[in-house]
Amino acid sequence: MSNTIDVQISQLQEYGVVVGRQLTSSFVSFCNDRFFGDRIYVMIDEKVNELHGNRVEEMCKQVFENVRILPVPEGETSKSLSEWNKYINILLEEGVERSTPLMAVGGGVTGDLGGYVAASVLRGIPLLHMPTSLLAMVDSSIGGKTGINHNTGKNLIGAFYQPDAVFTDVSFLKTLEQSEWITGMAEILKYAAIDNPDIFEELEVLVGKSLSPNEQWGKVIRESVRIKVDIVQQDALEAGKRAYLNFGHTFGHALENLTGYGKLSHGEAVFVGMIAATYYSSQLGHPVDDNAFAPFVSFFREQMAELPRNVDKLIDSMKSDKKVKNNTIRLVLLNGWGSPYIHECTNYSLLEDSWEYALARFN
Ligand SMILES: NC(=O)c1ccc[n+]([C@@H]2O[C@H](COP(=O)([O-])OP(=O)(O)OC[C@H]3O[C@@H](n4cnc5c(N)ncnc54)[C@H](O)[C@@H]3O)[C@@H](O)[C@H]2O)c1
């Protein structure tokens, strides 16, 4: 099975996200048509390289004589200036050309770093994404955000740089750990809330069974890709609608901040944040009920670190966000399922109640 979702950013920028299993033939025919050189750079997450590197290399060798594999150390610390510099040096010293493609294979870390290397070397070389984590498949490989962290904050250096194609082979997921499924699932639930509530039911069935890349997971992943593509196409540079993708995230970032990064996963934090945002919306009279998230609570709670209980500190953390102006916190709320909007929050007592409510679900 495979299916291509077209992304049209502008008249000059169009590419496909191929979603399926065993995508060698799609990859080979795309590269044969698109590239004339004999070399490809493959920046691949170190762990993914151990698990799937042979398959990726074999696939590339069907098109390119010279396949240069560059393993990227696992983890967020790889999104740094020093790592970026390391790969830029390798490419330039080896005489990379404007037409030489670079493929990023791995989760969001390798995708963001590899994407930014491709965006910046020689003012941009062709980029391919091959996401291997659930989060990268449904979120980070789509939309063209690339970048690295700075010691003053996350993702502060980077560029919007669209790939030439994305090859989303769901069979990579068979080796993904449960904690990483959770991270990706939070984003899929976000798409359910802001676009297509049918996903709630589909995901409930899947979570009750096994976490393996079967056809049903493929369907949910394809639908998630479609939703992200739809939003990105309308707002590639994040000037408006793309902000809806932050549903649950303003709450979630405050939780991550207070718990300490690394203790609570991003997905767990966003999950709690989505319950708080849904409760807030319902208290404004909008017809949404956070019970939609109930079937997933025990799943997310399983490995969750203890949550901070100090609501004042959580609200202070939300206020300290760089985007907050005049103490007005911008929240993505729901008019109804599938209908997000931006709310300028000045009602801190409702915010407090929403935090209390969401945290109590995890007691
Ligand atoms: N560019 C964007 O639009 C965007 C959007 C969301 C998140 N992000 C970024 O994405 C990053 C998080 O991405 P992530 O959650 O994928 O993290 P990650 O890249 O660190 O991958 C998570 C873990 O999964 C492992 N892994 C990946 N694929 C695997 C597989 N098939 N089998 C076994 N293990 C596998 C990796 O080795 C790693 O340990 C953050 O840096 C975040 O800022 C970017």
Nearest to 272 by CA among 181, 359, 185, 352: 359
Ligand 1 binding pocket mutation candidate from 52, 109, 129 (most atoms within 8 A of CB): 109
CB contact at 8 A, 127 and 170: no
Ligand 1 binding pocket mutation candidate from 7, 21, 45 (most atoms within 8 A of CB): 45
Q: What is the pLDDT of residues 157-201, one digit of tens each?
A: 999 999 999 999 999 999 999 999 999 999 999 999 999 999 999
Strand partners, 153: 150
Q: Which residues have CB under 8 Å from 230's CB, separation 6+?
A: 195
* Ligand 1 atom nearest to CA at 143: 3
Name the residue at shortest CA distance from atom 22 of ligand 1: 107
Name the residue at shortest CA distance from atom 33 of ligand 1: 176
Nearest to 105 by CA among 144, 142, 53, 163: 53
Helices (H), the chain: 24-34, 46-61, 81-93, 108-120, 134-135, 178-194, 198-208, 215-234, 249-259, 266-283, 294-301, 311-319, 348-360
Is the pLDDT score of 128 beyond 80?
Answer: yes
Q: What is the pLDDT of residues 289-325, one digit of tens each?
A: 999 999 999 989 988 888 998 999 999 999 887 667 7
Q: What is the pLDDT of residues 88-103, one digit of tens each?
A: 999 999 999 999 999 9
Give the span between the Cα atoms of 245 and 179, in whole angstroms: 21
Q: Which amino acid is at 355?
A: W
- HSE-up of 209 (CA within 13 Å, CB side)? 11
Is the pLDDT score of 262 beyond 80?
Answer: no
* Ligand 1 atom nearest to CA at 112: 1
Q: Work out the pLDDT band at 1, boundaries 50, 70, 90.
A: low
The alpha carbon of 343 and the centre of ligand 1 are apart by a number of angstroms equal to: 30
Percent of the chain scored above 90 by pLDDT? 83
Name the residue at shortest CA distance from atom 9 of ligand 1: 108
Which residue is listed with tokens 């930014």?
116
The alpha carbon of 76 and the centre of ligand 1 are apart by a number of angstroms equal to: 8
Q: How many CB atoms lie within 10 A of CB 299?
A: 18
The alpha carbon of 215 and the centre of ligand 1 are apart by a number of angstroms equal to: 22
Cα–Cα distances (Å) from 355 to 135, 289, 310, in that order, read 25, 15, 9
Give the span between the Cα atoms of 46 and 42, in whole angstroms: 11
Q: List residues near ligand 1 (CB under 6 A).
A: 45, 47-48, 51, 74-76, 79, 106-110, 112, 132-133, 135-136, 139-140, 143, 145, 155, 172-173, 175-176, 180, 183
Helix (H, G, I), strand (E, B) or coil at 65: coil
Two structure tokens written together for 286 = 């909008």
Domains of the chain: residue spans and CATH: 2-175 (3.40.50.1970), 178-210+247-360 (1.20.1090.10)
Q: Quote the Cα angle for 288-206-261, to 5°.
A: 70
Ligand 1 binding pocket mutation candidate from 44, 79, 105, 140 (most atoms within 8 A of CB): 140
Give the span between the Cα atoms of 192 and 201, in whole angstroms: 9
The alpha carbon of 319 and the centre of ligand 1 are apart by a number of angstroms equal to: 28
* Ligand 1 atom nearest to CA at 266: 15
Q: Range with the lowest mean pLDDT among 7-11, 65-69, 250-254? A: 7-11
* Ligand 1 atom nearest to CA at 172: 31
The alpha carbon of 331 and the centre of ligand 1 are apart by a number of angstroms equal to: 25
Nearest to 39 by CA among 20, 4, 67: 67
The alpha carbon of 136 and the centre of ligand 1 are apart by a number of angstroms equal to: 6
The alpha carbon of 184 and the centre of ligand 1 are apart by a number of angstroms equal to: 9
Strand partners, 334: 340
The alpha carbon of 326 and the centre of ligand 1 are apart by a number of angstroms equal to: 34
Is the pLDDT score of 155 beyond 70?
Answer: yes
Percent of the chain scored above 70 by pLDDT? 99
Buried b vs exposed e over 86-120: b needs ≥16 C-beta within 10 Å? ebbebbeeeebeeebbbbbbbbbbbbbbbbbbbbb
Q: Is the dihedral of CA 151, 245, 292, 352 positive or negative?
A: positive
User: Taking residues 344-361, what's their average pLDDT?
Assistant: 94
The alpha carbon of 246 and the centre of ligand 1 are apart by a number of angstroms equal to: 18
Q: What is the pLDDT of residues 13-40, one digit of tens each?
A: 899 999 999 999 999 999 999 999 999 9
Q: How far apart are the first and last CA of the chain?
A: 42
The alpha carbon of 154 and the centre of ligand 1 are apart by a number of angstroms equal to: 14
